[in-house]
Amino acid sequence: MTTTLLGALVGLIAGLHAATWGMYKDAPHEGFSGLKYLRSPLVGSVIGALVQSATGLDPRDPASLVVLFGMIYAVERAVAEIYKTFVREEDQSKYFIPMQFHLLGRVVQSRVARLSAGFLYSALLVALVVGITHLDSSGARLGWAVLMIGSLGGWISAFGGAWKDAPSEGFQLFKFFRSPLLALVYASGISYLTESVLAVTLAATGFTVATTETYKTFFFPSKPRGKFAGCPVVHPEILHWRRRFLPLYIAIWIALAGSLTAAVLTTESGSPRVGDVGHE
């Protein structure tokens, strides 16, 4: 298998991880759809191939595998959230918190306005990626500043979450700072695996999302997600058979932990870290 196909496989696994926690919380309220469940794995496989081709990361190397997984996770989640917020047309009455773009809880009905806002938001994200890529290509070594840049994804998630959730459920201080702090911790660890500031930033963002969603979904399985707060469980039978997906979910985390352990041991043995993205 070529490294690009391996990248697609990593993306498929990252998508299955995201699809599983999403299904676990949402399906009891809106039913299970095989097509919807497979959406993230399929999109993730395409993103995985693209990210691997763009970065040159070799999934056969443990450190590269961990970094690549986090990067793919971040990009796939960004694409999914942009689609759901700005592009998708859906009845919002079934939600406690609107999923489409809204202002102070009132959904923006104009599709043109939503698409325009989505374009501006996407352009901002692309500009941030380009700017961080420039830092990589310049060969700058930023020291502790890498950690602050690496936590950017957490701050974007915090402000985006507050924009979406606070009008409906109020501002929650712990919830706001949770993602930035967790992203900072992940950026600190990932900086030992790669010298690329962009890779640190995206991978830290991806693992932050994966960790927070795992915590919210599986540590509090009986608590509905915020968007379904107070909404009835329409499909109670799913509360039982959804557990069949747990072995897959746990296996992915175990595989990541194994790869991280191998990466740390390799780094401690004196092997070089993953190089700059795009300059492998």
pLDDT tens track for 45-97: 999 999 999 999 999 999 999 999 999 999 999 999 999 999 988 877 777 77
Q: What integer is the mean pLDDT of 17-45?
A: 93
- What pLDDT sits at residue 265? 87
- Which residues have C-beta within 8 Å of that of residue 246, sequence separation ≥ 6? 218
Segment among 25-29, 58-62, 169-173, 210-214 with least mean pLDDT: 169-173
The pLDDT-based confidence of 230 (bands split at 50, 70, 90) is confident
The pLDDT-based confidence of 102 (bands split at 50, 70, 90) is confident
Q: What integer is the mean pLDDT of 179-198?
A: 92
pTM beyond 0.85, yes or no: yes
Integer Cα distance of 85 and 246 in angstroms: 28
- What pLDDT sits at residue 280? 45
- What pLDDT sits at residue 141? 62
- What pLDDT sits at residue 175? 79
- Residue 270 CA: distances (Å) to CA of 77, 193, 264: 34, 12, 10
The pLDDT-based confidence of 140 (bands split at 50, 70, 90) is low
* Confidence check: pLDDT of 15 > 90: yes
Q: What integer is the mean pLDDT of 168-182?
A: 82
pLDDT mean across residues, the chain: 88
Integer Cα distance of 33 and 23 in angstroms: 9
Tell me the residue type at 204: A
Tell me the residue type at 231: C
